[in-house]
Amino acid sequence: GAVVSQHPSWVICKSGTSVKIECRSLDFQATTMFWYRQFPKQSLMLMATSNEGSKATYEQGVEKDKFLINHASLTLSTLTVTSAHPEDSSFYICSGVVSGNQPQHFGDGTRLSIL
Amino acid sequence: QQQVKQSPQSLIVQKGGISIINCAYENTAFDYFPWYQQFPGKGPALLIAIRPDVSEKKEGRFTISFNKSAKQFSLHIMDSQPGDSATYFCAAIDGNKLVFGAGTILRVKS
């Protein structure tokens, strides 16, 4: 149980384009979803926290106008990287949690490569 | 500032041996301590977790030891197998935020 699906798994696009990544909780309702970024051989860095139906809370240093997060339902959150540039290339991972201090369940990540 | 310190950075263990990864924290507000296993190109998967009112938790070959007074916890992998080769992250939860350690790359040699 507690499966989180992320799509696409890999995307390559040109600099300046926008890319949307979907995160779905398949067998539970995620009241809160999280978006992380992971560079090679590094740990996961939290980008933002989103609660269903409300605006996302961004971590310090993360541009909210560049990384648009929508959490329209209890099973779907999207991250849109607007006007992506090569420095945005990274592994983006989402997670969902039912409530409180329950363990987060992670998707398999999206490898984003900006040319 | 690293809130959860993890060591070692990398570890090589012979098949059948014991792998030990250590973590330490400062924030006493942390109230849940999960360990995650991550394979290349995949998201982290929850391995085992412990709450601070328990000193040890065992699930199969994986054991967490927790020392609340020292603010330290560790993961022991018994009878390590080549399939255990992965990156392991300790973590701590404050409220609903997960704080990760830097990760340990484990390689089990056959």
- Say how many residues make up chain A: 115
A103/B34 Cβ within 8 A: yes
A42/B46 Cβ within 8 A: no
| Interstrand relation of B56-59 and B45-50 (parallel, antiparallel or unpaired) | unpaired
Are B44 and B21 in contact by the 8 Å Cβ rule? The answer is no
Q: What is the mean pLDDT of each run of 10 residues along chain A (115 residues)?
A: 91 96 93 94 93 90 94 92 95 89 88 96
Distance of alpha carbon A107 from alpha carbon B75, whole angstroms: 23
- Which positions ≥6 away from B41 have C-beta within 8 Å? A108, A109, A111
Mutating which of A36, A59, A104 best tests the B interface, going by the most B Cβ atoms within 10 A? Answer: A104
Q: Which of A46, A97, A106 lies nearest to residue B43, judging by beta carbons?
A: A106
Which tokens is A74 given?
A: 């209890």
Q: Which of A43, A95, A101 lies nearest to residue B32, judging by beta carbons?
A: A101
According to the model, what pLDDT value does residue A38 have? 96
Which residue type is seen at A73? Answer: S
pLDDT in tens, B67-91: 999 999 999 999 999 999 999 999 9
The most distant pair of C-alpha atoms in chain A lies apart, rounded to whole Å, by: 40
pLDDT in tens, B8-43: 999 999 999 999 999 999 998 898 999 999 999 999
